Structure 1
Amino acid sequence: MSQVKESTAKLTGVAETLTITLYARSVETLRQDAILKDEKAVEIAEKLDYDFEKYSQGWVSQLGCVIRARVYDRAVSNFLQTHPTAIVVNLGAGLCTRFFRIDNGEVQWYEVDFPEVIELKRKLVTPSDRYQLISSSLLDAAWISKINRAEDRPVLMIMEGVSMYLTASEVRTLFQQIHQQFSPVEMLFDVLSSKRAKNTQAHDTVSKTNAQFSWGIDNSQELETWNVGIRVKEEIYYLTEFAKYPHRLQPWWLKYLTPILVPLYKKSGRILRIEIA
């Protein structure tokens, strides 16, 4: 008897983009030369009624997603090495499976996303005392009261593949709420350049959904002028790692242009590590 798969019909607009990152990690895991191993992503993808085939030609996005995910994994793991009992809040978590990849047995982990996303995720993973799912839009401050903040446990917030779907005003409001309720807090999130954020239709996978990019930023230090206690601690140009995988580039001759293209495009997508105090 074939397995009845979980419906994804409620995943529309921005919510649907979670299928892109899930697809990227699941197909990567099945490669012999995988950059990232995520058996949980494979398990979840197999349980969904979704046409992942529409992303099959999006090799740039697929490679970029797994490189980005690995950078996040390392950054969060480094934080937990110093603060093993920390609180990690994953904003716009989608079907992220990072907890299952890097859980140290002590971290308190929260995942926040749209009600329709959390409803689906509860059918696919099992929450626990240390791994909790919160049903809420990031723009609804109600999620904040669900975080059990302890003074002796530092907080790390992560927001992977989310900021570009918010407006500048929405990002600023979110950071203001975080500043008011959680500071001091460290945060990891990725951004697009303003030029790239204006061209959703050129994206090889997001263009297959109804989602639209809304915000990008070229000078990260501009965040420090928002008067919400932000200090930019690090910029990680993860797209430069494409140069490490010339055999993955298509068409084949693109690998010869990598030394030229990487410096030109490295700022189009980057991860920021900031402090909000």
Structure 2
Amino acid sequence: MHRWKPELGLIQETLLLTLHARARDSELPRPILGDTLSADLARRIDYDFGNLKVKTNVVVTTALRSRKLDDAVEAYVAAHPGCVVLDLGCGLDTRMRRCDPPPGVDWYDVDFPAVVNLRSERLHGRSHLIGANLTRSGWLTAVPDDRPAMIVAEGLLPFMPGDSFQALVRALTGHFPAGELAFNGYTRLAAWAMRYHPIMKTLGIEAAQGFDDAHEPESWEAGLELIEEQILTRAPEVARFPQPLRALTRLTARSTTLSRQGARILRYRF
């Protein structure tokens, strides 16, 4: 098998972490996401994934948050078959393949130019590719503004410095007539803890700020209204977690405060 070596910066290299986690989930006896395409892609990369020291809890929580965000996209597309979908900070995610939207949907995968170049070479599909730094303006001119939009941002929040995520959200909601925004939300404590996570330290990345109250984005002057806060420790898919992680997760689920420090999916309409 021919293997290729990606040339990426530190922030872009985090896409290999999530790719590896999705690949490992597909190899579990009871996978949550079952993304075999990610597994095939990871096998073709010349990279020492062992250096990332990805533990089982990261594997299953990454797969679970991806599954819930896929569910949000699929539900919106079913209700709005002519919509636009934006996958922000898409990395080498195969979400469009997993969701398989109808031909009337215009799907845009957005990430740094170096990442988009990798996608065009290694992950062929029918999505539109946009290479952009999401902390800067201007890239939205390439996206239609006359249709409702489903915007998904997985793992993006901690890598947006200062208030740049809020500014991005305002630009997005101002661009489209209506839509939904779904992302995995980090509390302030979770974002702070990420700075000391072995993976973040290995890659030399400092995480940005999070927020505690799921209603806080409603104050960003972006026209957001909270639809749902999913606390993932209480998701039925936890039954597929291997032991003893399954028991520990169910114990954590008894406390809303503790559960929010782990993983949650937030959905807003605008």
TM over 0.5: yes
Q: Which structure 2 residue ranges, 5 or more long, are not aligned?
A: none
Which amino acid is the alignment partner of residue 43 of structure 2? E
CA shift, 1:28, in A, is: 1.3
Q: 1:101 to 1:247 in 2, by over 3 A?
A: closer
Aligned-pair distance for 1:211? Answer: 2.1
Report the CA distance between 1:220 and its aligned residue. 1.7
Q: In the aligned structure 2, how far is the partner of 1:88 from the partner of 1:100? A: 13
Q: What TM-score, normalized to structure 2?
A: 0.90
**Kept in 2: contact 1:113–1:137 (CA 8 A):** yes
Match of residue 107 from structure 2? 109
Q: 1:145 is matched with which residue?
A: 141
8 Å contact from structure 1 (residues 58, 204) kept in 2: no
Query: How far has the Cα of 1:203 moved from its partner?
Result: 3.0
Contact 1:90 1:157 survives alignment (8 Å): yes
Displacement of 1:255 in angstroms is: 5.1
Cα distance in 1, alignment partners of residues 268 and 185 from structure 2: 12
CA offsets, 1:136-157, max 9 Å, x none?
Answer: 11122222011133x3x32111
Q: Which runs of 5+ in 1 are unaligned?
A: none
Output the TM-score relative to the length of structure 1. Answer: 0.88
TM-superposed CA distance for 1:256, in Å, is: 4.8
RMSD, matched Cα: 2.1
One-letter amino acid matched to 1:115: P
Match of 2:222 in 1: 228
Contact 1:187 1:274 in 2 (8 A): yes
Distance change >3 Å, CA 167–CA 247, structure 1 → 2: closer
Question: In 2, Cα distance between the equivalents of 1:93 and 1:57?
Answer: 20
Distance 1:160 1:275, change over 3 A: same
Deviation for aligned residue 1:22: 0.7
- 2 CA distance for matches of 1:169 and 1:201? 18
* 2: CA distance, partners of 1:6 / 1:78: 36
Name which of 248, 252, 256 aligns with 1:261. Answer: 252
- Deviations along 1:110-164, one digit per CA (max 9) or x if unpaired, are 0010011111111112243xx1111111122222011133x3x321111011011
Q: Cα distance, 1:55 vs. partner?
A: 3.6
Note closer, same or farther for the CA distance 1:247–1:82 as it changes in structure 2 (3 Å cut): closer
3-state DSSP of counterpart to 1:122: helix
Corresponding residue for residue 25 of structure 2 = 28
Q: Secondary structure at the match of 2:140?
A: helix
